[in-house]
Amino acid sequence: MSFVKTVESYRQGARTLPGRYYTAPDVFAEEQARLFGRHWICVGREAALAEPGSYVLADLGGESIIVLRDQSSELRAYYNVCRHRGTRLCEAAEGRLSETIQCPYHAWTYALDGRLIGAPHMHEVEGFDKKDYPLHAVAIDVWEGFLFVNLDRRAPPLAQWLRPVGDRFTRYQLGTLRTVRRIVYDVQANWKLVLQNYNECLHCPTIHPELSTKLPYTSGANDLIEGPFLGGYMEIKAPHVSATLTGRACALPLGALSDDDRRRAFYYALFPTMMLSLHPDYAVFYTVWPRTPASSRVVCEWMVHPDAPGAPGYNIADAEEFWDRTNRQDWHICEQSQLGIGSRAYVPGPYSPRESIPAAWDRHYLATMSAGASETRGTTSR
């Protein structure tokens, strides 16, 4: 794999975003429409919907979406909206449905494939046909075991959108990995600060004492330096062999890794809100959920080789505690950034060469928001 050094991808004059991008309600509302209403968004792992009838709710683009596996084991996604009078169909964040979804208001009932199969007293309405009122479907697809949904009916297929990533993660066999830990964090900071923080390690020596002993911030390089997918690797400092509190491996090796891969950790951001961390013996993925201009929810899951929990030496707590500490340090500094950016004294500051990836993330964000505005104007003009 050919890597490009971070400093080589730096653009002179790059500056942080203006404060309104982190605080203004109108910017937040535009993001819901232009980003979360039009992009493929990771909503978790396919394995979370292992059984027919299992479902989870996802909130994106200002919408509640039901993501489920139907009775024929097909994955489906629907707006959480009854076709009768618009009532929410599901309230619990996750669960198991029977063979139907029934509205709690007037008992309109849908099969898990979205068909309306029961509508009390509607036979008394002339011309009413249940076939005309299925649930509103949402595009859904799977990549490497991750579930993605997209609210945009005109969106490109997931595989086409992910084409720049290619097969660079295939060797980790992510689709086979087993989730063994999950922590949900509420962060009092704008969602973009979480992504920008993830995309650089200039802050690591001052914020992350445990991490810096295992992953020197000057090590490694980036191979994805522009566009929606960004990141690269860091070297694991010998004699450590993994990013854990002890520095020891905590599980079986992932996939078919080269000797170089066994000495590296890879960190990638998949625009807009997924972060993927790959280590020789475990992987971590994050999904970031905007709540308000100044608050976010981050879901973090640890994954291992499917045989790891029963193998000798398994100790995922070593990795979990390592990243839980690191994450909490990150969330705290993001919250402090949010407070400072909210000040009247804040003005955009210059990025350094070692912050080239958050600068690239900003460029893609601004280009996407601008393109979204153009599409909105075009739609309005029609």
Model confidence over 170-213: pLDDT tens digits?
Answer: 999 999 999 999 999 999 999 999 999 999 999 999 999 999 99
Burial label for 155, CB within 10 Å (0-12, 13-18, 19+), is: middle
- The Cα-based distances of 336 to 97, 101, 330 in angstroms read 42, 44, 10
Per-residue HEC secondary structure of 80-144 comes to CCCCCCCCCCCCCCEEECCCEEECCCCCCEEECCCCEEECCCHHHCCCCCHHHCCCCECEEEEEC
Token digits of residue 174? 């992510």
Task: State yes or no: pLDDT of 381 exceeds 50.
Answer: no
CB 150 within 8 A of CB 139: yes
- The Cα-based distances of 93 to 64, 68, 177 in angstroms read 10, 12, 23
According to the model, what pLDDT value does residue 325 have? Answer: 97
Confidence of residue 373 (pLDDT cuts 50, 70, 90): low
Give domain limits for the chain: 6-16+168-373, 41-158
Of 66, 54, 49, 65, the closest CA to residue 97 belongs to: 54
CB 32 within 8 A of CB 62: yes
Rounded to whole angstroms, the Cα distance separating 19 from 57 reads 32
CB 355 within 8 A of CB 200: yes
Token digits of residue 238? 């010998």
CB 189 within 8 A of CB 338: yes
- To the nearest 10°, the Cα dihedral for 66, 305, 183, 206? -130
Half-sphere exposure of 239 (CA within 13 A, CB side): 1
Rounded to whole angstroms, the Cα distance separating 116 from 104 reads 15
CB 121 within 8 A of CB 130: no
Token digits of residue 97? 């449905």
Confidence of residue 166 (pLDDT cuts 50, 70, 90): confident
Rounded to whole angstroms, the Cα distance separating 284 from 263 reads 17
Average pLDDT over residues 26-38: 96
Average pLDDT over residues 328-352: 97
Burial label for 46, CB within 10 Å (0-12, 13-18, 19+), is: middle
Name the fold adopted by 41-158. Answer: Rieske Iron-sulfur Protein (2.102.10)
Its pTM stands at 0.93
Helix (H, G, I), strand (E, B) or coil at 368: helix
Name the fold adopted by 6-16+168-373. Answer: Naphthalene 1,2-dioxygenase Alpha Subunit; Chain A, domain 1 (3.90.380)
For all residues of the chain together, what is the average pLDDT?
Answer: 93
Token digits of residue 154? 């005109």
More confident call, 308 vs 3: 308
According to the model, what pLDDT value does residue 13 have? Answer: 80
Task: State yes or no: pLDDT of 378 exceeds 60.
Answer: no
CB 149 within 8 A of CB 59: no
Rounded to whole angstroms, the Cα distance separating 45 from 144 reads 9
Task: State yes or no: pLDDT of 377 exceeds 60.
Answer: no
Largest Cα–Cα distance in the chain? 77
Phi, psi of 350 (to 5 degrees): -80, 140
CB 22 within 8 A of CB 293: yes
